[in-house]
Amino acid sequence: MKSTALLVVVFLAFSLVSPLWSQERLPLQNVDFSSRRWIVRRTTKPEGPGGNTFGGKDINVIKNEDGSLTLRIFQKEGIWYAAEVTSQERMGYGEYIFRLRTPPKDMDPHVVLGLFTYSGGAAYNHREIDIEFSAWGVTTAPIKGQYVIQPYQNPGQLFTFDMSRIREPASYSFKWTEGRIDFSSWKGYGPRPEDGSPDIIAAWSFADPKAVPKPSPNVHMNLYLAKGTQPPSGRGLIEVTIDSFEFKPFKK
């Protein structure tokens, strides 16, 4: 209980909502991944989340020959750069599935992996729905997973789960319908196992018509430092490979 409480406190300290769109006039960079086009984030100064600088394509965002996408934390000329991509397409109600080759439990404790929706408009708390993995800079704590409906500080809108036994590729998803979000994570890339299966990593449902956002946001995937100026500890991975992203829209 103490470990979980500590992680939540650290989350509150370092997950303040900040603009996720660069204010700089840099040429746009794009990457094609999972049959979609993504904007690659690139900045020359620290921005949210956590005061990170984002390096851009082929530095922090790498398209691999097998079609997978690697996000990495990279140091250049004394500056640590983070990675982020944003879908050009806006998406709404449906199922979002992220398939991770890299077990998040192996990440450095200062690194955060975020898989989430986000809108530049402030309505519905930027329409932010999160799947996140980190120890939030606490070097004595394990990497935890968490499902979040923003604002995270509202009671009952954050759920954490253990990642210590996950040593293989896995699928992380949420189904978003009107007034409800069903999160689920499972081992492997196949269909979701039945409830009660040992291959289920975690599952959580949130139903509140007032708190669940309305469509339609963009999808983001990022890898960054919990405290942007604090470098990795050297005790874990600072890159993550994502094999695919899939969105299945719900038909009315």
> What mean pLDDT comes out for the span 177-190?
98
Q: What is the pTM of this model?
A: 0.91
Instruction: Read off the pLDDT of residues 76-101 as tens digits, 9 standing for 90 and up.
Output: 999 999 999 999 999 999 999 999 99
Determine how many CB atoms are found less than 10 A away from the CB of residue 85. 28
Residues 6+ apart with CB under 8 A from 213: 123, 124, 125, 127, 128, 129, 149
> What mean pLDDT comes out for the span 115-127?
96
Q: Note the pLDDT of residue 64.
A: 98
Q: How many domains does the chain have?
A: 1
Task: Report the CATH number at residue 185.
Answer: 2.60.120.200
Please give the residue range of the domain that contains residue 191: 2-249
Q: Note the pLDDT of residue 17.
A: 36
Confidence of residue 25 (pLDDT cuts 50, 70, 90): low
Instruction: Read off the pLDDT of residues 157-183 as tens digits, 9 standing for 90 and up.
Output: 999 999 999 999 999 999 999 999 999
Give yes or no for residue 1 having a pLDDT over 90: no
Q: Note the pLDDT of residue 14.
A: 38
| Residue 164: CA count within 13 A, CB half-sphere | 3
Provide the percentage of residues in the chain whose pLDDT is more than 90: 88
Instruction: Read off the pLDDT of residues 29-50 as tens digits, 9 standing for 90 and up.
Output: 999 999 999 999 999 999 999 9
CA 187 to chain centre: 18
* Edge-to-edge order in the sheet of strand 94-100: 61-63, 69-72, 239-249, 94-100, 170-177, 180-187, 200-207
> What mean pLDDT comes out for the span 64-71?
98
Give yes or no for residue 184 having a pLDDT over 60: yes
> What mean pLDDT comes out for the span 118-127?
96
Mean pLDDT of the chain: 92
Give yes or no for residue 110 having a pLDDT over 60: yes
Q: Note the pLDDT of residue 24.
A: 60
Place of tokens 């492997």: 188
End-to-end, the C-alpha distance of the chain in Å comes to 42
